[in-house]
Structure 1
Amino acid sequence: MAMTTSGRTRIAVVTGAGRGIGLAIVRALAKDGFTVVAGTRTATDDLQAATPHTFTVDLATPDGPDRLVRHTLEQHGGIDLLVNNVAGTSTPSGGFLELGDDAWQHTLNLTLMTAVRTTRTALPNLLERRGAVVNISSVNARLPQPRLIAQSAAKAALSNLGKALAEEFGPQGLRVNTISPGPVWTDIWTSPGGPGDLLAQRAGIARENITDQLPARIGLSTARFTDPQEIAALVVFLASGHVPNMSGSDLVIDGGLLKTV
């Protein structure tokens, strides 16, 4: 079991936990001994197999994050780790002139404001327990793309939020760090009409050859997508406290995509 120095089991809250990166994080933390409360709009079979502590909630609503945190405090007595993973990934892709206010509001609300609201409610308990926050951002915070302009802006704001929180609350023992993945092999890349499909079509790559050919075409030095378990491994490391003076950091895992930035 993942124990604190006082001998109690550590409690983690993960947002956007139903699939992809979030699901991998839940699995890795549970394997490491955490009691993991998974906040999700849809409690999938895979998620319920990973943790018995799922909480179905729409985190896009103003009171959703508050409900998730308060449920965790009531059921488990505290929070040692908060992973802000949920993001507005369903925003329609397109350039600046293709996105109206609704698309911008959706992305900023789910990607940034959910993290703000969840952290704000959890913060007093996190400070009391000298806990940690990990924000899942993106290389697009530094590498904006017209097709992902709203998501890039929201992730840049999330990255900045993490550094600001680390600066303000670091003296009180809170560690806040950010992980910025590049392309991660999830269903976002495999779904018809998704970014993988669109990029493959532009590059003249057949769908069945996306994993073999697309990474190198889009500039990944490793010629492979990042696996969700790799992101999860970084979360476990940051949660471990093995490097207690690491706070305000932004760990990039992108297969070398940012090598020219």
Structure 2
Amino acid sequence: MHWQRILVGGTKGAGKAIADRFLRGGGTVIITARSAPEEETESHFVRADVSTSEGTTKVIPEMLDLFKGVDIIVHNVGGSSAPSGGFITVTDERWQQAINENLFPAVRLDRGLLPSTIERGSGVIIHVSSIQRTLPLYHSTLAYAAVKAALTNYSKALSNEVSPKEVRVVTVSPGFRETAAATRMFER
């Protein structure tokens, strides 16, 4: 079978590693990110900031028009840039930013792409959450941890809804990975 996989957030860190593995597995690999891959790649790249509705609105029609849908969606986008200092430092704007970066991309892209996956009769959606959903670092990642918990709950509810339609929805919650983003978090 010729798999069509979209990786949301696939040009750096863990996302790049997932993209490289997908490419070795064959099929079509579509990567979205705010910045282009640093190296030449065989994947189809869509530059979009999926933390905005405009970014997801750009991605969805391209996936449906060019590829007629996808078989596997990996939502790897997210992160935290909130300052350290605990709850008192997390402004409304930081909370909204955490939601926009860690929850809404999955919600919006699933809403736009999942109907075509259901129509295909099978598929997989993978939401990359975080171990912090249950073990938050309250002094530096309170909003991030809370929103990743929301993503995990959303993922479970979506799974309950679409698994009877032959679409699996799973959440993976990796522990610490030494990436540039993780280093920036520890430097805050």
Select the structure of larger CA radius of gyration: 1
1:151 is matched with: 144
- Report which structure shows greater RCO (CA 8 Å, sep ≥6): 2
Shift of 1:197: 4.2
Does the CA contact (< 8 Å) of 1:60 and 1:110 recur in 2?
yes
Deviation (angstroms), 1:89: 2.7
2:58 partner amino acid? R
Q: Residues 195-234 of structure 1 correspond to what in structure 2 (within 5 A)? A: 195-197=185-187
Matched ranges for 1:73-222 at <5 A: 73-129=64-120, 130-146=122-138, 147-190=140-183, 194-197=184-187
Cα displacement (A) at 1:34: 2.8
Could you tell me how far 1:169 is from its partner in structure 2? 0.8
Tell me if structure 1 keeps the 8 A contact 2:118–2:165: yes
Contact 1:92/1:103, CA 8 A, preserved across alignment: no
Identity of matched residues, %: 35
- Cα distance in 2 for partners of 1:195, 1:26 equals 23
Task: Indicate how the Cα distance of structure 1 residues 51 and 92 shifts in structure 2: closer, same or farther if over 3 A, else same.
Answer: farther
SS of equivalent to 1:39: strand
CA contact (8 A) 2:68 2:116 kept: no
Shift of 1:69: 2.1
2-structure distance, mates of 1:126, 1:94? 42
Aligned length: 186
Aligned partner of residue 120 in structure 1, secondary structure: helix
Root mean square deviation, CA, Å? 1.5
